[in-house]
Amino acid sequence: MKMSKGQMGRRLLGFMVAGVALVAGGVASAELGQPAPWEYKLQEAATPVMENIIWFHNWLLWIITIITLFVLALLITVVIKFNARSNPVPSRTTHNTLVEVAWTLIPVLILVGIAVPSFRLLFEELDIPKADVTIKATGNQWNWTYAYPDDKIEYTSIMLSDEDRAKINPAPPRLLGVDHAIVVPVNKVIRVQTTGADVIHSFAVPAFGIKIDAIPGRLNETWFKATRLGVYYGQCSELCGKDHAFMPIAVKVVNDQDYDNWKKCVQANKDDCIDLPQKAKQSAKGDGAAKS
Ligand SMILES: [Cu+2]
């Protein structure tokens, strides 16, 4: 089949529009705190640290793009202008002070421009502010045990099977939904201490910008301050054995009132508290109101 230029152009345009629509559609359907089909970016931030991680990621992307295009332009210039045919008598120049100073100084400036925000981000992640709530997450083969030592709360969180998910409306995301989520108050500093009961696991929640190893015999620490209500999902991020892929993490961010009620509910050993997945979506309502 032969196509005219106009036909080909229209067909190409059609493909492009379809591609953009596909990507935009995938992103539009992205739900806060979990991955989405066709997602090519980082998950939307729910903590100040993650906002800064995304900023830094974009900053690096700009720098890398500009450097790559610049080097490509240099290469093309060299190939076209200085090949043996178009440049039969090569120059015998060996030094050029200006160029040498520039190619030393400019990379140094670029590295400083990367190092300063990079260190700022690292210190922000490592310096744990005074914590409002401390949670200890223990990685087991293959689930997580969560403890709130100050409130004498401890429970184990296990992934929901497809059958269990089917009974819940709306169903929690596949391979991410759990029977008991972590419950934390919004806009409070949560210190997470991690350790492993058997092998090394890793506690990671992308929307919070945290990922920290859970190592047997050691207590690692990180922190997050969720500024938006909702349910946020993560996974064990250290190969820990055959069911490594099936020990997800679910964190439910609720307002202070709901958090206090939840603590009392769990301490009273009731079995309908809001860490359950069927209760998981409720507090996601009124998201805007709790933002500060
Ligand atoms: Cu693990």
Instruction: Give 43 Cα–ligand 1 centroid separation in angstroms.
Output: 21
Domain assignment present for 121: yes
Instruction: Give 221 Cα–ligand 1 centroid separation in angstroms.
Output: 17
Instruction: Give 245 Cα–ligand 1 centroid separation in angstroms.
Output: 8
Instruction: Give 196 Cα–ligand 1 centroid separation in angstroms.
Output: 9
Q: What is the mean pLDDT of residues 104-115?
A: 97
pLDDT at 195 over 50: yes
pLDDT at 7 over 90: no
Domain assignment present for 273: yes
Instruction: Give 203 Cα–ligand 1 centroid separation in angstroms.
Output: 8
Domain assignment present for 4: no
CB atoms within 10 A of CB 238: 18
Q: What is the mean pLDDT of residues 51-68?
A: 97
Q: Which of 105, 126, 147 is the last residue of a domain?
A: 126
Are 170 and 102 in a shared domain? no
Instruction: Give 140 Cα–ligand 1 centroid separation in angstroms.
Output: 7
Instruction: Give 220 Cα–ligand 1 centroid separation in angstroms.
Output: 15
Instruction: Give 22 Cα–ligand 1 centroid separation in angstroms.
Output: 34
Instruction: Give 195 Cα–ligand 1 centroid separation in angstroms.
Output: 11
What is the per-residue pLDDT for 289?
39
For the chain, give the percent of residues with pLDDT over 70: 85
Asked which of 13-22, 142-151, 159-168, 179-188 is least confident by mean pLDDT, the reply is 13-22
Domain assignment present for 2: no
Domain assignment present for 33: no
Q: What is the mean pLDDT of residues 273-287?
A: 64
Instruction: Give 176 Cα–ligand 1 centroid separation in angstroms.
Output: 14
What is the per-residue pLDDT for 271?
84
Are 56 and 179 in a shared domain? no
What is the per-residue pLDDT for 277?
84
Q: What is the CATH number of the domain that holds 166?
A: 2.60.40.420
Are 53 and 197 in a shared domain? no
Q: What is the mean pLDDT of residues 95-121?
A: 96
> pLDDT by residue (tens digit) across 79-103?
999 999 999 998 898 999 999 999 9
Q: How many structural domains is the chain composed of? A: 2
Instruction: Identify the domain containing residue 121 by its residue range.
Output: 48-82+97-126
Q: Are 36 and 26 in contact (CB under 8 A)?
A: yes
Q: Are strands 230-236 and 248-254 parallel, antiparallel or unpaired?
A: antiparallel
Instruction: Give 73 Cα–ligand 1 centroid separation in angstroms.
Output: 46
Are 139 and 277 in a shared domain? yes
Are 234 and 164 in a shared domain? yes
Q: Which residue has the higher pLDDT, 26 or 214?
A: 214
Are 74 and 151 in a shared domain? no
Q: Which residue has the higher pLDDT, 147 or 21?
A: 147
Are 145 and 259 in a shared domain? yes
Instruction: Give 144 Cα–ligand 1 centroid separation in angstroms.
Output: 8
pLDDT at 117 over 50: yes
Domain assignment present for 53: yes
Instruction: Give 199 Cα–ligand 1 centroid separation in angstroms.
Output: 8
Are 116 and 154 in a shared domain? no
pLDDT at 144 over 60: yes
Are 177 and 261 in a shared domain? yes
Are 209 and 279 in a shared domain? yes
Q: Which residue has the higher pLDDT, 23 or 186?
A: 186
What is the per-residue pLDDT for 170?
86
Are 121 and 175 in a shared domain? no
pLDDT at 274 over 50: yes
Instruction: Give 200 Cα–ligand 1 centroid separation in angstroms.
Output: 7
What is the per-residue pLDDT for 20?
57
Domain assignment present for 282: yes
pLDDT at 18 over 70: no
> pLDDT by residue (tens digit) across 211-270?
999 999 999 999 999 999 999 999 999 999 999 999 999 999 999 999 999 999 999 998
Domain assignment present for 236: yes
Are 232 and 277 in a shared domain? yes
Mean residue pLDDT across the chain: 89
Instruction: Give 149 Cα–ligand 1 centroid separation in angstroms.
Output: 22
